[in-house]
Every structure is written in structure tokens, then in C-alpha cells.
Amino acid sequence: MKKLFFLPIFTFLLLSSCEEGEKKDYLPNSIGAYNTLTVVIDNELWNSEVGDRIRENFAAPALGLTWDEALFSITQIPPQVFSGAVRNTRAVLYVMEDSLSIAHMKKNMYAKPQKVGVIKGRTKDEIITNLNKKAPEFIEAFKKLELDEAQKRFLKSLSKEKALQNNFGVELNVPSIYKVGREEKDFVWIDRQIQKGNMNIIAYSVPWDTFKNDSTFVQDIVSMRDSIGRLFIPGEDIPGKENYMITEKAFSPYVFPVEIAGRKAAEVRGIWEMSGYPMAGPFLTYIINDKPNNRKLVLEGFTFAPATEKRDYMFELEAIMKTVRFTEK
């Protein structure tokens, strides 16, 4: 009798899994501008301390920009409006009072790729507790989702330039709109023009033992950047002044440990300025341990776009630099 029941049960399970797979295959493509977050929450909660806590976490100022710009651009809609194409938004945060206390992340519920963070609680205080606990994890997940989507779009039209591979033995997925503007021994500068300025990626290397003391690490990074600026990134000619890119003097950059291309690295976010002229903008630097070549590889993205929001420009540069792959020279 056991054998008689085995085949029908197995067939049912197989068909169920196939139907689930087919459903996922037919999900529509997600939509939305980069770094936007749809918050599904009723108006009463949104206008309470719950909404305040959501904004404090997900609309906090992004680090290393010339003026305050939110981590995510938030659109709030009540649950009854969350239908149709709106459900295909790539990043969604669903918050509501409920009989259960739940905080988790769901994937590809209505579209793909998509992440839906769910926060529920029996009271406002319980919702806030869940928000505080899960916000860092959700922010990281939403940011990775956006980076992955950007990197996927890069593949549609990639630059065929070989300057990085020829000089440093690395490859980046650089969109074809970027062009090599300067190539010298141990220095490559790639840029693209934007409406009110330009976006830039530079690459260079420094000796493995450049940073010898943890207590002076930040100062040594600033010295490294300023010396590279003096050598390779001049500004407009100013009579009687030496004008080149430096690290802003008023504030120290933010420095974090990260992993890039499977290697330990430092992420540096801050503001650049010109030494002899009032120009400034944000920069993002990755200092990557490259022990096989006895060096530190430095990739930096910076933007010049006066009187313009720069969060999404810097996001694109970050997405490009995080595609770095080490190859044989």
C-alpha cells in the first residue's frame, strides 16, 4: 500500500513546485528610480511617532555629501492604495498594527527583483521596537538590491577600454558613456560628462606598507589623496596660487572596513575641494589590499556638479567600483 501512495504524493509535490516556479518566472519586472522606497502604512501611523522613526532611519542623511540628502527618497501610500503597478516597486517597506509582532524581509512578492520589508506590531511601541531592531538590516538589503540592479543595467553597454587592465591588472564594468581622459604610468582617470559637471573614477596604487600606524590612518589617507591631487588633478590656473584637488580641511572623512572583490579594504567617504579655488564635491575611495602584487590598489570616484543633488551620482560610481575584478597582468 505504501508504494501505491508514493507516486501520487510525489507527483503532487512535483507539480506544486513547478507551479510555484512558473509563478515566479512570470513575475513582472520591478520598477522605480534608484534609491527610492515605497512605504506602505496608513496615514494615522505615518503621522505618528512611527512615521517619525521610519524617516529617522530610512531618510537619514547619506554620508559624505556636500549637503544633506536622504538615504532613500520615500513615497508613503496607505495599504488600500497598494495595488496594480505600485506593487511592482523594487524596494518596499510595509508597516502596520496587527495581532502579531513580526519583522522580516520577503523577496520577489509581486515583481522581480524586489525586496519587501515587513514590520508589524500590536502597538505603536512594539512597531517602533521592531523598526529599531531591523532598520540597519533592511537598509543594507535595500542598498544591495539597488546596487545589484544598477550593475545589471551596466551590462547593456560596457566600455571596451583596457587602460585599467593594462596598468593594474583589474577590470571594472564601466558603462560605455565613460571615457579614459588620462592614462599615465600607475594612474588612470575615467570620466563622463553630466548636465552640470562631470563624474570621475581614478585608479592608482601605493606600496603595501604605505599605512603603518592605525593611529594615523585617517591622516595618512588624507596625505595620500592630497599628494595624488597635486600630481594628477590640477584645477584652473590661479595667478600666484597652486591649485589642485585636496581633501576638505574642515572635516575628516568617514572610514569603514569593507570587503571588495573578496579582499579586505577601507571605504573612505568625504568631501574634496580645490586648494586655491572655491570648488568642492563628494568623493568615495576604496583602498584595497592586493598582497599578491605587494601593493594597495586605490579606486576613487568623485563628482563635480555644483548646485545639484549628488547622491545618485555617487551611488553610480560606487556600483561601478564594486564590480572590480583582479586579473593577470
Give per-residue pLDDT as tens, 63-82. Answer: 999 999 999 999 999 999 99
In the predicted structure, residue 16 carries a pLDDT above the cut 70 = no
Closest CA to 68 of 282, 303, 321: 282
The C-alpha cell at 127 is 512597531
pLDDT digits (tens, 9 = 90+) for 28-56: 999 999 999 999 999 999 999 999 999 99
Position 58, amino acid: F
In the predicted structure, residue 4 carries a pLDDT above the cut 80 = no
The percentage of residues in the chain with a pLDDT greater than 90, rounded to a whole number, is: 87
Closest CA to 75 of 130, 117, 38, 30: 38
Task: List residues bridging with 118 in a β-sheet.
Answer: 94, 104
Angle at 245 between CA 239 and CA 249, to 5 degrees: 100
d(CA 222, CA 244): 14
State how far Cα 62 lies from the chain centre.
Answer: 11
pLDDT digits (tens, 9 = 90+) for 158-191: 999 999 999 999 999 999 999 999 999 899 999 9
d(CA 140, CA 301): 21
In the predicted structure, residue 10 carries a pLDDT above the cut 80 = no
Kindly give, in sequence order, each residue whose CB lies less than 8 Å from that of residue 30, ignoring residues fewer than 6 positions away: 88, 89, 90, 111, 112, 113, 114, 149
Question: If DSSP codes are grouped into helix, strand and coil, which group holds residue 326?
Answer: strand
Q: How would residue 26 be classed by pLDDT, with cut points 50, 70 and 90? A: confident
User: Cis ω on the peptide bond leading into residue 113 (within 30° of 0)?
Assistant: yes
Phi, psi of 165, deg, nearest 5: -65, -45
State how far Cα 118 lies from the chain centre.
Answer: 22
Kindly give, in sequence order, each residue whose CB lies less than 8 Å from that of residue 78, ignoring residues fewer than 6 positions away: 40, 41, 42, 43
- Size of the chain, expressed as the number of residues it contains: 329
In the predicted structure, residue 12 carries a pLDDT above the cut 80 = no
Query: Which alpha helices (H) appear in 94-244, and where do they start and end?
Result: 124-154, 163-168, 217-232
Position 115, amino acid: K
Q: What is the mean pLDDT of residues 229-252?
A: 92
Q: How would residue 17 be classed by pLDDT, with cut points 50, 70 and 90? A: very low
In the predicted structure, residue 2 carries a pLDDT above the cut 50 = no
pLDDT digits (tens, 9 = 90+) for 251-278: 999 999 999 999 999 999 999 999 999 9
Q: How would residue 20 be classed by pLDDT, with cut points 50, 70 and 90? A: very low
Query: 193-202 burial by CB neighbour count: b if 16+ within 10 A, else e?
Result: eeeebebbbb
Q: Are 121 and 98 in contact (CB under 8 A)?
A: yes
Complete domains list, the chain, with CATH: 26-154 (3.30.379), 163-326 (3.40.1000.10)
Mean pLDDT across the chain, nearest whole number?
Answer: 92
Position 209, amino acid: D
- Helix 49-58 crosses helix 124-154 at what angle (to 10 degrees)? 30
Q: What is the mean pLDDT of residues 212-235?
A: 95
pLDDT of residue 328: 64
Among 114-118, 188-192, 238-242, the minimum mean pLDDT is found in: 238-242
pLDDT of residue 25: 66
Q: How would residue 11 be classed by pLDDT, with cut points 50, 70 and 90? A: very low
d(CA 324, CA 329): 14
Give the distance between the most distant pair of CA atoms in the chain.
97
Q: Are 235 and 243 in contact (CB under 8 A)?
A: yes
pLDDT of residue 6: 41
Global pTM value:
0.90
pLDDT digits (tens, 9 = 90+) for 124-148: 999 999 999 999 999 999 999 999 9
